[in-house]
Structure 1
Amino acid sequence: MKTERMSIKEFMNRKETPSVAWNVTKFGAFLPLTVFPLTTIHAHAATYEASPVVAMTKDQIYDKMLTAFEPITNLIQALAYPVASIVVLFGAIMVLISQKEKGFTLMSNAGLGVILVNLMPMLLNILVDIMKGF
């Protein structure tokens, strides 16, 4: 392998043109991905059937909204406890190195955060019930 030395200015002003073989190889790798959707349109077109449009009531819309946010709330609730544990541990370390105010503030905020995250589904249900009244 040959080592080439140059200044930073020469390196920044250097212009390399890619070879033709490199361009053909790059395009050839993506060619099946660009042609594949065109070949499958006709095969799947016959399988779709027109479905009648069904009007949804307000209650059904609100229920769908709640079920749509359920995975997100479950994820946040699952992550709340480990994150709070790390913050409490960091707060305890702060108390050990004689920064008591910052340490106790971190620990109390972590506990409050876990409580609020676990109350989040109840608050969302309250908001949905409020919106049903309008």
Structure 2
Amino acid sequence: MFKKRIKTEVVPAHEYTDYSDRFEGDEKYATLKHVAIAAAIPSTVAIGTGLFMFNKFNDTYSSTVIPVNAPVQQVMEPVVAQIPSTIHVNTIAEPTGIIAEKSLEILATALDPVVQILVAISFPIASVIMVGACFFFMLGNSEKAWSMIMNAGLGYVLINLSPLFLQILKQIGEAI
């Protein structure tokens, strides 16, 4: 009873690694089209991000400086103070938008360093996650490893594109 041997069975590698039971027909294998699309996506994102960063730092004017070519004329007029006889309580002041624009500008300026720090630390964090995912390959859990690598890569790309998304949101907000 105690000396009974357990027979080991050798399973071919293709039975547990190619996952062909999940796909049918030509979907089992990657075609040249799939490889070309998969290679084009990161390069397109990298080129777009590079052009955005190049244009961002090579502007001739700052985003807050508007050049004006018209001459400035100062006109001094007498100021006449009038005291109203009655003050209306139900009078609502007309919004000028100056405070809202300034507060938005201050908030965006205050959050810029935070966004830049997050963009700067995204690469080291994504690298650590990807290296950690490689240990799951060693432990035999390739599904979790691929999932972690894909999530880390997608997170890294989205974090690096976040300044672009924030700039787009700011432009939309100004247009409205």
Using structure 2 for the length normalisation, give the TM-score: 0.41
Q: Provide the secondary structure at the position in 1 that maps to 2:140.
A: coil
Where do 5+ consecutive residues of structure 1 fail to align?
Answer: 1-54
Q: CA deviation at 1:69?
A: 1.2
Per the alignment, residue 102 of structure 1 pairs with 144
Per the alignment, residue 172 of structure 2 pairs with 130
In the alignment, the residues of structure 2 paired with residue 57 and residue 132 of structure 1 have an alpha-carbon distance, to the nearest angstrom, of: 14
Q: CA deviation at 1:77?
A: 0.9
Per the alignment, residue 116 of structure 2 pairs with 74
In the alignment, the residues of structure 2 paired with residue 83 and residue 77 of structure 1 have an alpha-carbon distance, to the nearest angstrom, of: 10
Check conservation: 1:62, 1:128, Cα contact below 8 A.
no
In the alignment, the residues of structure 2 paired with residue 63 and residue 122 of structure 1 have an alpha-carbon distance, to the nearest angstrom, of: 17
Q: CA deviation at 1:65?
A: 3.1
Per the alignment, residue 126 of structure 2 pairs with 84
Asked if residue 65 in structure 1 is aligned to residue 107 in structure 2, the reply is: yes
Q: CA deviation at 1:74?
A: 1.0
Check conservation: 1:80, 1:114, Cα contact below 8 A.
yes
In the alignment, the residues of structure 2 paired with residue 66 and residue 111 of structure 1 have an alpha-carbon distance, to the nearest angstrom, of: 27
Asked if residue 116 in structure 1 is aligned to residue 158 in structure 2, the reply is: yes
Higher helix share: 1
Where do 5+ consecutive residues of structure 2 fail to align?
Answer: 1-96
Q: Percent identity?
A: 28
For residues 95-119 of structure 1, give each alpha carbon's deviation from its aligned partner in whole angstroms, at most 9, with x where no partner exists: 1111000001001110101100000
In the alignment, the residues of structure 2 paired with residue 67 and residue 115 of structure 1 have an alpha-carbon distance, to the nearest angstrom, of: 23
The 4+ residue runs of structure 1 with deviation greater than 2 A are 55-66
Q: CA deviation at 1:127?
A: 0.7
Number of residues of Structure 1 aligned to a counterpart in Structure 2: 80
In the alignment, the residues of structure 2 paired with residue 108 and residue 133 of structure 1 have an alpha-carbon distance, to the nearest angstrom, of: 36
Q: Give RMSD over aligned pairs.
A: 1.9
In the alignment, the residues of structure 2 paired with residue 110 and residue 81 of structure 1 have an alpha-carbon distance, to the nearest angstrom, of: 9
Task: Point out the structure with max Rg over C-alpha.
Answer: 2
